[in-house]
Structures are given as C-alpha cells and as structure tokens.
C-alpha cells in the first residue's frame, strides 16, 4: 500500500537535504507517495503567503508531513511558522532523540536519550505578550493546563513503554515557577503512579542541564515544558555532535510532522555541503510512526556506519564530503 505524505522542501539548505532524504526513502522502497507543498519564503515568493491554505489542507488530508527547515523573515511581525504549524495541528508532543554516533567530535560515546517537549503551551503561546509604547516594559504570559500537561506526560510514558525505555525524568522549575511548572510536576507525579514498570524521577532544570553535561548516561526519556524542552533538546544535540544530527517529530492526535531541529542555514545554503542526517533521522522517526520500524532501523544503521567510516561525511562532522557524496554512501548501504 502506498502512503501519501505532504513534503515541504523548505528554504535555504531545505531543498538540498530534502532531495537527499527522498532519494534515501526511495532507495529504501518505503512505499511513499509525495505530495509537494510550499511553506516559508519559497511559498511567499510563489503565492504571496508564508503558509498557504493548500499546504494546511494537504497536511490535514495526508496526516503525515515531512518538512525541511523554513526561514521566518526577520521583522515585520512574522510569527514563527513552526510555532504556527504546531499550533494549527495541535502537535502537542515534540520528540527529539539524541543518540551518539561513533566517529563524531562529541565528547560522549553512549548517549541514547529522548526529550519529549510540550509543544503547544507554556512560554511560547504568545498570550498577553506586550511591550509598552515607550519601550520601558515588556510582558508575556506563561500558561499551562492540567490537560495539556497530562497528555504530554502520558505520551512520554507510553513512548517509554512502546520502545522499551526504563526511566522517565520530569524536568521543571517548580521551586520558583510554582504555579506553572509546579502543575507540570504534580501532574507528572500523578501519571507516573499509573506506570509502575517505568522508573520516574524529577529534576530542577538548572540541575538537569549540569547533570546532562556531567553524566548524560543517567537519562533515558526526559519530559518537560515548552521553553525548557527547546533549550534542553539543543543541549542534547550538542552532546551528540551538533544540530546536523538532531531530528524531531511533532506528534498530535490526528497529524504528525517530522523535521530537522536545525534551521535553514543561510550561511551554507547553495554550497551543497549541508549535512542531511537530521532530516534523514526525522524520516526514520516517520518510518517508525508508519509501522516500518525495520526500515527505520536499517536507515539509522546505514547513517551510523557512514559516520563511523568518516571520509564521505560533510564538513560539520569533520569529513571532506558533500551532501551528495554523503547520500551516495548511505544509499550504497541500503541496496
Ligand atoms: P540554523 O540552524 O539554520 O544554523 C545554525 C548554524 O548551524 C549555522 O552555522 C549553520 O550553517 C549550521 N547548520 C545548521 N544545519 C546544518 C546542517 N544540516 N549541516 C551543516 N550545518 C548546519 O539556525 P539560524 O541560523 O539561527 O537560523 C536560520 C533560519 O532558520 C532562520 O530564519 C530561522 O528562523 C530558521 N529556523 C527554522 C527552523 C525550522 O524550520 N525548524 C528551526 C530553527 C531556525
Ligand atoms: Mg529550538
């Protein structure tokens, strides 16, 4: 059976890494049909809109989207398109695995953790955001709901069970932000009782950051609120060799959207040297989601082997290859 997915090629390095990713998916024979849609600056140039209705309709219909990075124009009051997409489709759980690959410049070798970031509430809602006309004061509100906390914590525990993880750590700042992240912590403690097979602990966010750098191997699944999750997942990407290796899945009740964590990298766009791995690893998450975990595993294995070998990787990983040679090397291992 063919599965139709919405594909957004994106801006900057987006089209380069998407080309590589689709080639790999075709080599894997993943049975996907691509419904190409526009978003970001590419969409604005062609349709006058950053997020055309046709793109939203396509995602609603296909329920699965693979998305390359989008450039959010600076100034002019543009809201982040990613935040807009997550909000529109209520993609409440952002799943960001950080896994060590042998052959990177990372200080660590055996990191294997997943951050589950709440994606629709908290500090990124933009509620009550306000700057005084004279520029002397600015405000924004942080809002969480019990239901919003509960669904993401439950998602993290269910994920842990499904993929055989042993421990969930809730990260918060309940000692200071007592109401907002205190609610998150209380809900996490309540939900944890329903999962006696999964170990549970909690850490205050600043301590969690230090622990992640000192002893990352103690972590398995981390669940946290929107702002902390944004920061912690980049920290984790740094632990395993940088943004070029960091994928993310945005999961909602009806729709799931898979993407690289990094942006459109305008500084290297058009040079053909972008690392395609973050989007490739996001494609692997998508294959897991589509019950094609055997292919997802083959893909991860091929990426790991090519990185370990080293000579055909992109410059950000210390290699002397380009996007195409990196992709060739991965495809060779998949046929
Ligand atoms: P960025 O992630 O695009 O780049 C940061 C640094 O990492 C740059 O030096 C870049 O060359 C490097 N880098 C990123 N991805 C790479 C890859 N695959 N291979 C090799 N090097 C890579 O972040 P920046 O510069 O802050 O943002 C650029 C644009 O991207 C902005 O318009 C921003 O709004 C947008 N953005 C979009 C995101 C998305 O669509 N998910 C996420 C983050 C930023
Ligand atoms: Mg971020």
At 73-125, the pLDDT tens digits run 776 666 788 888 999 999 999 999 999 998 887 888 889 999 999 999 998 87
User: What DSSP line would sit under 52-121, residue for residue?
Assistant: -HHHHHHHHHH-EEEE------SSTTPPPHHHHHHHHTT--EEEEEEE--TTSS-S-S--EEEEEEE-SS
Domain boundary among 226, 255, 278: 226
Read off the DSSP letter of residue 183.
H
b/e per residue 110-130 (b: at least 16 CB within 10 A):
ebebbbbbbbbbbbbbeeeee
Asked whether residue 150 is assigned to any structural domain, the reply reads: yes
One domain, residues 39 and 107 = yes
Tally the residues of the chain.
Answer: 335
Q: Which of 264, 270, 280, 303 has most ligand 1 atoms within 8 Å of its beta carbon, as the pocket-test mutant?
A: 264
In the three-class reduction of DSSP (H, G, I as helix; E, B as strand; rest coil), residue 32 is classed as strand
Q: Show the domain range for 199.
A: 118-226
What pLDDT, in 10s, does the model give residues 148-163? 999 999 999 999 999 9
What pLDDT, in 10s, does the model give residues 60-77? 999 999 999 998 877 666
Whether the CB of 315 sits within 6 Å of ligand 1? no
Whether the CB of 170 sits within 6 Å of ligand 1? no
Asked whether residue 233 is assigned to any structural domain, the reply reads: no
How far is it, in rounded angstroms, from Cα 315 to Cα 320?
A: 6
Q: Spot the catalytic one: 234, 288, 295, 316.
A: 234
Q: Which of 43, 262, 269 has most ligand 1 atoms within 8 Å of its beta carbon, as the pocket-test mutant?
A: 262
Q: How many domains does the chain have?
A: 2
Q: Which of 246, 194, 177, 189 is nearest to 223 (CA)?
A: 189
One domain, residues 216 and 245 = no
Cβ pair 81, 40 in contact under 8 A: yes
Domain boundary among 200, 226, 252: 226
Supply the residue whose CA is at minimum distance from atom 38 of ligand 1: 263
Q: What is the CATH number of the domain that holds 304?
A: 3.40.718.10
Whether the CB of 11 sits within 6 Å of ligand 1? no
pLDDT of residue 217: 93
Two tokens, residue 331: 């495809």
One domain, residues 169 and 314 = no
Q: Is 173 a catalytic residue?
A: yes
What pLDDT, in 10s, does the model give residues 256-290? 999 999 999 999 999 999 999 999 999 999 999 99
Residue 126 has pLDDT above 80, yes or no: no
One domain, residues 213 and 129 = yes
Q: What is the CATH number of the domain that holds 203?
A: 3.40.50.2300
What pLDDT, in 10s, does the model give residues 217-249? 999 999 999 999 999 999 999 999 888 999 999
Task: Respond yes or no on whether ipTM tops 0.95.
Answer: yes
């Amino acid at each position: 059976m063919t599965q139709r997915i919405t594909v957004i090629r994106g801006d900057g390095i987006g089209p380069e890494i998407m080309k590589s990713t689709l080639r790999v998916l075709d080599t894997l024979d993943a049975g996907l049909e691509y419904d190409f849609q526009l978003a970001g600056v590419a969409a604005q140039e062609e349709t006058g809109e950053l997020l055309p209705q046709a793109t939203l309709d396509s995602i609603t219909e296909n329920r699965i989207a693979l998305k390359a990075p989008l450039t959010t124009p600076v100034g002019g009051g543009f809201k982040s398109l990613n935040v807009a997409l997550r909000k529109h489709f209520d993609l409440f759980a952002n799943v960001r695995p950080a896994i060590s690959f042998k052959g990177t410049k990372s200080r660590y070798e055996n990191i294997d953790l997943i951050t589950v970031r709440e994606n629709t509430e908290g500090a990124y809602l933009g509620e009550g955001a306000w700057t005084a006309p004279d520029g002397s004061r600015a405000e924004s509100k942080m809002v969480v709901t019990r239901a919003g906390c509960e669904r993401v914590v439950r998602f993290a525990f269910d994920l842990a069970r499904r993929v055989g993880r042993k421990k969930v750590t809730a990260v918060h700042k309940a000692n200071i932000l007592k109401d907002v992240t205190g609610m998150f912590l209380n809900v996490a403690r309540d939900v944890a009782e329903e999962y006696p097979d999964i170990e549970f602990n909690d850490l205050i966010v600043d301590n969690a950051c230090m622990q992640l750098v000192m002893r990352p191997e103690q972590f398995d699944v981390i669940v946290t609120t929107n702002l902390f999750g944004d920061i912690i997942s980049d920290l984790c990407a740094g632990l395993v060799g940088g943004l070029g290796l960091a994928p993310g899945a945005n999961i909602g009740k009806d729709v799931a959207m898979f993407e690289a964590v990094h942006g459109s990298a305008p500084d290297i766009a058009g040079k053909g040297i972008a690392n395609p791995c973050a989007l490739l690893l996001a494609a692997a998450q998508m294959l897991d989601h589509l019950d094609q975990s055997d292919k997802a595993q083959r893909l991860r294995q091929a990426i790991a082997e090519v990185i370990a070998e080293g000579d055909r990787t992109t410059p950000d990983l210390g290699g002397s290859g380009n996007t195409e040679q990196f992709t060739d090397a991965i495809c060779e291992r998949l046929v």
